[in-house]
Chain A
Amino acid sequence: MDLFFVNIIDGLVFGLLLFMLSSGLTLIFSMMGVLNFAHASFYMLGAYFAYQISTVLGLGFLAGLIVAPIIVGIAGAGIERYGLRRVHQYGHVPELIFTFGLALLVQEVVKLFWGQNQVPYAEPAWLDFALFNIGENSIEAYKVFMILISMLIFGGLLYILTKTRIGMIIQAALSYPKTVEALGHNVPMVFMGVFGVGTALAGVAGVIAGPALGTFPGMAFTLGSIVFVTIVVGGLGSLWGALAASLLIGWITTFAAAYNFEFKTILLALGMEEPALIWDSKLRDLWTLTLPQIGPILPYVLMVAILVFRPQGLMGKREA
Chain B
Amino acid sequence: MRMLMPWIVGAIVLLVLPIFFGGRSQLTIMSQMSITVVFALAYNMLLGQGGMLSFGHAVYMGMGSFLCLHVMNMSSFGSFPLPLLPLLGGVFGLLFAIIIGSFSTRSAGTVFAMISLGIGELMAALVLIVTVFFGGEEGISGYRDEGLPFFGIEFISNLEVYYLIAIWMFIAVALMYLFSRTPVGRMANAVRDNPERAEFLGYSARRVRFVSFAVSGFFCGVAGGLSAILFEIATESDLNVTASGVILLVAFLGGIGFFWGPIIGAVVFTLLQTVLGLQTHLWELYLGVVFVGMVMFFPAGLSGIIMAHVPAAKMGKLGTLVGPYLTCVLPGILGGLGLAALIEMIFHVRSGAEGEHHMVLFWIDFSTHDVLPWLVALAVAVIGIGLAVRNAPNFKAAWENASTLPEAA
Contacts and interface: CB of A to CB of B under 8 A. Distances in A.
B351 A284 contact: no
Interface string A270-298: 00000000000011110001000110110
A293 B129 contact: yes
Mostly, the B contact residues are helix
B295 A101 contact: yes
B291 interface: yes
Nearest to B295: A98
Contacts of A308: 103, 115
B332 interface: no
Contacts of B315: none
A310 B53 CA distance: 20
Contact of A307 (B53, B115, B288, B292): B115
B117 interface: yes
B291 A101 contact: yes
Nearest to A302: B118
B122 A297 contact: yes
Contacts of A96: 53, 113
Contacts of B130: 285
A297 B103 contact: no
A86 B299 CA distance: 11
B119 A311 contact: no
Interface in B69-127: 103, 107, 109-111, 113-115, 117-119, 121-122, 125-126
A222 to B, nearest CB: 11
Interface in B164-213: none
A320 B111 contact: yes
Contacts of B111: 307, 311, 319-320
B284 A297 contact: no
Contacts of B121: 225, 297, 300
A72 interface: no
A105 B289 contact: yes
B282 interface: yes
Contacts of B252: 97
Contacts of A98: 292, 295-296
Contact of A90 (B113, B282, B299): B299
B343 interface: yes
B405 interface: no
A75 interface: no
B118 A303 contact: yes
Nearest to B300: A90
Interface magnitude class on chain B? 35 or more
Contacts of A289: 129
B249 interface: yes
Contacts of A109: 285, 288
Contacts, number: 112
A240 interface: no
Nearest to B113: A96
Interface residues of A, number: 46
A183 interface: no
A266 to B, nearest CB: 16
A311 B131 CA distance: 33
Given A93-B47, A296-B125, A301-B122, A105 B114 contact: no
Interface in A223-242: 225, 228-229, 232, 236
B51 interface: yes
A93 B252 CA distance: 11
A104 B291 contact: yes
Interface of A: 35, 83, 86-87, 90, 92-94, 96-98, 100-102, 104-105, 107-109, 111-113, 115, 225, 228-229, 232, 236, 282-285, 289, 293-294, 296-297, 300-301, 303-304, 307-308, 311, 319-320
Closest 8 CB pairs of A and B: A105-B288, A108-B285, A297-B125, A101-B291, A304-B118, A101-B292, A300-B118, A98-B295
Interface of B: 47, 51, 53, 103, 107, 109-111, 113-115, 117-119, 121-122, 125-126, 129-132, 241, 245, 248-249, 252, 282, 284-285, 287-289, 291-292, 295-296, 299, 343, 346-347, 350-351
29 contacts: A35-B114, A83-B292, A86-B296, A87-B296, A96-B113, A97-B295, A98-B295, A100-B248, A104-B245, A104-B287, A108-B282, A108-B284, A112-B285, A112-B346, A113-B350, A115-B350, A115-B351, A225-B117, A285-B132, A293-B129, A294-B129, A297-B125, A300-B125, A304-B119, A307-B118, A319-B107, A319-B111, A320-B110, A320-B111
